[in-house]
Amino acid sequence: MRRRFALPLATTVVALTAALLPAATASAAAPADKLQVLSSWTQTSAASYNSFIAARNNQGAWTAYGFDWSTDYCSDSPDNPFGFPFKDACSRHDFGYRNYKAAGAFPANKDRIDSALYEDLKRVCATYSGATKTSCDGTAWVYYQAVHNFGSVAPQKAAA
């Protein structure tokens, strides 16, 4: 008698598991507002920049979104050219590039992400005056032109 129930019970367990699996997978997916959050952190405003920095400092709160927080900062350029602290601005720029590429929405957002970098750099430069500010502004313009003209629209390469 036990054997008669074993097969139907096993079939029921398999069917129930299969029915529940899509629900478990869906709940593990990124929240529906992921692109809205990404957009809010990649605008040109100081408020957007500050929100990004706060989120970056509390990445654990954003785990469900699956954001790529990795950065090489200013890539092959100095992170702090002539002592100007551009590192955080470059980090946000990397964040925008990497996450929009992963979402398949990069080309439509590239110009804004590049402009956000430039605005971030200009805010750094605004803390200086005189010739130092002029030098900083010129360096910011060079950094912006580099990413604007040479920033890759190619999809992000998968990690090895």
Residue among 98, 81, 67 nearest 144 (CA): 81
Please state, as a whole number, how many other Cβ atoms lie within 10 Å of the Cβ of residue 43.
18
Average pLDDT over all residues of the chain: 85
Mean pLDDT of 16-45: 72
pLDDT, tens only, 103-123:
999 999 999 999 999 999 999
Amino acid code (one letter) for 74: C
| Torsion angle in degrees (nearest 10) through CA of 41, 96, 59, 54 | -40
| CA distance readout (Å), 91 to 26, 95, 121, 142 | 30, 6, 12, 17
pLDDT, tens only, 62-119:
999 999 999 999 999 999 999 999 999 999 999 999 999 999 999 999 999 999 999 9
* pLDDT for the residue numbered 23: 38
Distance CA 117, CA 97 (A): 11
Active site residues: 93
Write out 71-100 in H/E/C secondary structure. Answer: CCCCCCCCCCHHHCCCHHHHHHHHHHHHHH
* pLDDT for the residue numbered 30: 84
Distance CA 84, CA 86 (A): 6
* pLDDT for the residue numbered 99: 98
* pLDDT for the residue numbered 20: 38
Distance CA 102, CA 82 (A): 33
| CA distance readout (Å), 130 to 126, 141, 156 | 10, 17, 40
